[in-house]
Structure 1
Amino acid sequence: MSYDLYFKPRNDSFSDELFHSYFRDRPNYKCEGAQAWYGNEDTGVYFVFELQTEQRSEEDYDDDEPLEHFPVALNINYLRPSYFIFEAEPEVTAFVKHFDFLVSDPQMKGMGEGEYKAEKLLSGWNFGNEFGYASFLKDENNRSGVSHLPAEQLQNAWRWNWSRSQVQARVGESKFVPRIMFLNLSGSPVTAAVWPDGISVVVTRVDYLCVPRKELAPTKFFRKKEDTTFVEWDKALPVLLKHGTQNNDGSISLNYMTPPSDVVKFIQSLPSENRAIEGLSADRVLDREIYERSAV
């Protein structure tokens, strides 16, 4: 299931080349044939704009598609975390404004035909997304293995990941700015950020810090054995605050070039990890509130 929105130029001045030239140099897009795929590696958000290259006859249309020709369609999947539409909306709004498009929106709670309305894109997708949750989760067999976290936690992670590259550019190479990732840790979904060997980082609150140890690997039989371990945020926080500055957004910037001795000792003292750990793609970690409303 997906949200589908159709676009046509107000003054008929549009072409395939204009479509490709618009998306070709726009960040996070990849043009493949008639499609312009948006995919943000930091946030995990994706959607697609697609050229409708052929004028079709009336019998070729689905019931929910516009009968007149709309040369571009947008497709955004449902059953996704709620922040998907927060990232998609500015992209859709910019696209419409650039080409002065009119739209056809066949979704319930959508904007209908005519002028584009950003607030209707948000409400229409949110309505359909919640319907997608309910349709999928009404079957108890589909609930097994579904991961979910509170919407506020997901949206905070998305905001951090969305701005991560800007923060990295601002601090330069002196500090590492890790993205927030999602993991299944012993059967529970958690957020995590990488803190390799205790290096200088800019990091925000997560459930766990993932600590790859190479230079600071534990020694066994007089040899270092590289590993990756995890430490809860609250256990690491005193060390982070001692050697860092808390920023206005709550993140912490560590203020050293090389790890001080107490940081080294802290990293080396962490126990080896023996829990089951599995990476989770961001698009499959759903909003807990919508999950709980739907799984009834």
Structure 2
Amino acid sequence: MSYDLNFYKKTTDSISKSDIEGYLNRLPNVINESGTQWFYQNKETGAYCTFEYYELDEEDEDVEEEHFNGFEDTKFAFNINFIRPQFFGKECFPLVDNLVKELNLYILNPQGDAEPKKYEKGMLEKEWGESNLKFAKSNFEEWGLSYLELNKSNYSWEFSKNRNSLQNSLGDSYFVPGIYYVKKKDSNIVNTLAVWPEHIPYTLPKVDYILVQKKIKKLFRTKKEDGLIKYSELVSKLGQFFVDEKDYKVIHPENANKISKLFNELPLIGSFENFGEGIAVDKFVNINDK
């Protein structure tokens, strides 16, 4: 179940196949192994989509090429699946908007319009998003989907998208965690989770749980212990040592050195294994069947 777009150009424009290939090859996070398919996947956020160049087989009598006066089919297409978190659209449709703007292309939208046209920025994302929620809701139970509240989902995507740049700006002495998605046992509710190893300088995103990894030094050995703690509980215990930024908290080296004892005394509610299991980003949606 997917949403597809085809790209057209004016017959008077000199845009070539190599021009479009050049744009796609310059995109970050793109793999092009076949020469005709550009698979975009951001490993930080998990969002993905596909651009493809297709040529109709002369022997394929079932496929009828569409012709529009004044337009020429570039034979490039875009594809994004339905039944995904809404942030798939937030990340992928700007790639389409920029391609169309940069090369003056037109879009044939098989989901609606009967001819190639220009779309206002954000319109295709909006159309996909509305259909995505509708399909997710109607297939929620049948597909065994899980649910993550929209604001949490979009926040996690935004933080994950910017994680590397934040890590680079803070430097190697800090740990900027990725955000993971966890489904509780016997539940279809998804929670967000970050890992904090030891009491090192740390960036704390707004997540539901933190997996704390302790190293407690004993007389002749070091005891390792890990477990979950709620975000609210962690902040109540250690919040005074963090500096508030716009969308996250940071504990700087001078304070990280002060909290060794408090960190190792944090009350943990149990292990990750007993709590639930990790879930991939294409297995949850931002609407349920209620």
Fold shared by both chains (TM-score > 0.5): yes
Deviations 1:199-229 (A, max 9, x none): 111122111011233xx1576x964343431
Contact 1:218 1:268 in 2 (8 A): no
Aligned to 1:106: 110
Distance (Å, rounded) in 1 between the aligned partners of 2:119 and 2:63: 22
Q: What amino acid sits opposite 1:47 in the alignment?
A: C
The structure with the greater share of residues assigned to helix is 1
Question: What TM-score, normalized to structure 1?
Answer: 0.83
Contact 1:198 1:211 in 2 (8 A): no
Deviations 1:91-131 (A, max 9, x none): 111111122111100114x6952223333302321232133
Deviations 1:174-220 (A, max 9, x none): 3121122101233442101111112111122111011233xx1576x
1:83 matches 2:87: yes
| 3-state SS of 2:84 partner | coil
Distance (Å, rounded) in 2 between the aligned partners of 1:218 and 1:292: 49
Deviation at 1:58, TM superposition (A): 8.9
Distance (Å, rounded) in 2 between the aligned partners of 1:82 and 1:149: 10
Deviation at 1:61, TM superposition (A): 3.1
* CA pair 122-66 structure 1, distance change in 2 beyond 3 A: farther
Distance (Å, rounded) in 2 between the aligned partners of 1:52 and 1:13: 19
Deviation at 1:23, TM superposition (A): 2.5
Distance (Å, rounded) in 2 between the aligned partners of 1:15 and 1:257: 57
Deviation at 1:132, TM superposition (A): 2.1
* CA pair 257-49 structure 1, distance change in 2 beyond 3 A: farther
Distance (Å, rounded) in 1 between the aligned partners of 2:217 and 2:92: 45
Distance (Å, rounded) in 1 between the aligned partners of 2:132 and 2:104: 27
Q: What amino acid sits opposite 2:134 in the alignment?
A: F
Distance (Å, rounded) in 2 between the aligned partners of 1:195 and 1:16: 48
Question: What TM-score, normalized to structure 2?
Answer: 0.84
* CA pair 222-269 structure 1, distance change in 2 beyond 3 A: farther
| 3-state SS of 1:116 partner | coil
Q: CA RMSD in A?
A: 2.8
Match among 255, 262, 268 for residue 265 of structure 1: 262
* CA pair 117-132 structure 1, distance change in 2 beyond 3 A: same
Distance (Å, rounded) in 2 between the aligned partners of 1:66 and 1:292: 38
Unaligned runs of 5+ in 1: none
Structure 1 vs Structure 2: percent identity of aligned residues? Answer: 27
* CA pair 207-112 structure 1, distance change in 2 beyond 3 A: farther
* CA pair 9-232 structure 1, distance change in 2 beyond 3 A: same
Distance (Å, rounded) in 2 between the aligned partners of 1:128 and 1:39: 22
Deviations 1:154-175 (A, max 9, x none): 1111111122222122212231
Deviation at 1:56, TM superposition (A): 5.9
* CA pair 235-127 structure 1, distance change in 2 beyond 3 A: closer
Q: What amino acid sits opposite 1:255 in the alignment?
A: H
Deviation at 1:15, TM superposition (A): 4.0
| 1:79-228 aligned within 5 A | 79-108=83-112, 113-137=116-140, 140-143=141-144, 146-187=145-186, 188-213=189-214, 216-217=215-216, 223-228=221-226
Unaligned runs of 5+ in 2: none
Contact 2:6 2:77 in 1 (8 A): yes
Match among 240, 243, 249 for residue 242 of structure 1: 240
Deviations 1:30-71 (A, max 9, x none): 112211111111111000000123476894338xx8556341
